[in-house]
Amino acid sequence: MVLDIRGRISEHPVATFFVVAYVLSWTAWSPLVFAEWWVTWSPLILVDDLQTMVFIMLGGFGPLVAAALVTWAIGDSVREWAGQLLRWNVSLRYWAFALLFPAVAVVTASAIHIIVFDGRFDPESMSTLVLYPVLFLQVFLVGGGNEELGWRGFALPRLQRSYSAAVASLLIGVCWFAWHLPLFLISGSSQAGVPVYYYGLAVVALSVVFTWLYNETGGSVLLPMVLHASVNTGGILYLAGGGAALQTELPNALYAVVFLLAALAIVAAYGPERLSDVEVSTRPSESQR
């Protein structure tokens, strides 16, 4: 029986990964959704800010745990999979990109908002910049960066064996976006109040950028973790109202369009097949099926 289950998982490791990631994360978030929509169910009410944060963060580990379980179930090396975190010795330009690209994107979007759409620069919103290092570290560890061993460390290399890098990016991007959907229903989440369609566009576009970075660094998950943390933290740099502005229509649209243009530039520059100048042989080994 166990061998039969493992055999079925081995036949569809990526699909199994996505299903398990959704089940784990959505199970963790479901009490918060119930608390929002069925408040009369008093035993399920978890509206305390700290409890909300804890449950949201626990759900964020779904992709990581799912990837670890499926890697183990199909008999691949968990150590080799996790070892992608240790690939830090890459060109400094990739470190600079992972750290600075989101900041450039959000400043560009906010500058367009101010110059073209008569937005107002809000110097008071910049006071939160002092929190950037702390927020970045928190997001890197438990607020987004922890997802990357799943999306990029597990799903991406496997999908790229069957599809072009661009198609693999789109598949992951759509699944990555859909995975976030319950968070739009939870007060206190980063997604609460954010226009869903622009968020989806941004996530799918960013998936292309993440693929480029993963492939260019020879399969490093550490750099996508840094990029993920930079993206999630970068909203506080929005010059026309800070991170709170990104919960409104126009700023969110501008932010998404900047990411979309970056994704299109990568496809145009590197081609959809690999989204990278790095040879396929430098990517994760075939033992990571």
CA-closest candidate to residue 29, choices 69, 67, 57, 56: 56
CA-closest candidate to residue 70, choices 155, 133, 192, 137: 155
d(CA 234, CA 190): 12
d(CA 257, CA 37): 32
Domain boundaries, the chain: 86-282
- Under 8 Å between Cβ of 181 and 216: no
The CB density around residue 185, as the number of other CB atoms within 10 Å, is 16
d(CA 9, CA 154): 14
| Contact residues for 138 (Cβ-Cβ < 8 A; gap 6+) | none
- Under 8 Å between Cβ of 279 and 219: no
- The pLDDT of residue 48: 59
- The pLDDT of residue 2: 59
Banded pLDDT at 199 (limits 50, 70, 90): very high
d(CA 111, CA 157): 36
Q: How large a percentage of the chain has pLDDT more than 70? A: 90
CA-closest candidate to residue 128, choices 226, 255, 241: 241
Q: Provide the mean pLDDT of the chain.
A: 90
Tens digits of residue pLDDT in 207-239:
999 999 999 999 999 999 999 999 999 988 888
CA-closest candidate to residue 169, choices 199, 223, 230, 213: 213
d(CA 48, CA 264): 42
The CB density around residue 153, as the number of other CB atoms within 10 Å, is 29
Tens digits of residue pLDDT in 72-98:
999 999 999 999 999 999 999 999 999
d(CA 240, CA 15): 41
